[in-house]
Amino acid sequence: DREMDLSLEASHLERFAQQFSNDPTVHVPEVHRGLSSSRVLTLERVAGIRADDIAALHRAGLDPRIVAERLARHYLAMIFVHGFFHADPHPGNLLVLPGHVVAYLDFGMTGRLDRTMRETLAEVVLALGERDEAALGRSLLALADCDEEPEPRAFEADMAELMGQYAYRPLREWRLGRILEQLLSMTAKHRVRIPAELFLMVKTLTELESLTLTLDPDFDAVSAAAP
């Protein structure tokens, strides 16, 4: 029913516009409040190119690699800086405007991460980038609720095995969303509860990553996330 209350979606749009108000590379359609209610949402009409329409981007003189870099930068800011993210990044909701500006549409699905969760998540990504299993284990447990601490040796062994799959691959071959998904499900195996918002965030990142790789096959999400 929350998807039906369109006044909620209007406030999501306005919050999102506010957090990117200083970023000229983000466009958020303006809400026409006088023409909107809980049942009707009236927005500024936005004409742009679907983010996955590579032929149309080229025809318009736009570089798909710049679009990939901007999408990644925007999403990393949503997740790690603002803690409020657009959770439905399918290409029809992301339009590219002249000058590689990205317009975000459809705020029916959004996610929130509180400050502690964002900081801990940043530690998880850092530990991944540094291939530091002990730090990875600690920060993962800090993200979760445990009824009892998992058996440390078994937990670390699983962590080491997962890291081993990636250890010798160059970072640009890593899929951040996929790795986080594997980490969360491995953590869940040890009867550690992961907040639902994190799963939504990982699903969002995974979707976004497949789009950025369509736009730029060499795109490296882990390095983009490092700063």
Which of 23, 52, 63, 88 is labelled catalytic? 88
H-helix or E-strand spanning residue 215: helix 196-215
CB 120 within 8 A of CB 143: yes
Q: How far apart are CA 23 and CA 195, in angstroms?
A: 30
Beta bridge partners of 193: 145
Is 158 one of the catalytic residues? no
Helix (H, G, I), strand (E, B) or coil at 169: coil
Q: Who's near 135: CB < 8 A, 6+ residues apart?
A: 123, 126, 127
Of the candidates 215, 206, 204, which has an alpha carbon nearest to the alpha carbon of residue 182?
206
Residues with catalytic annotation?
88
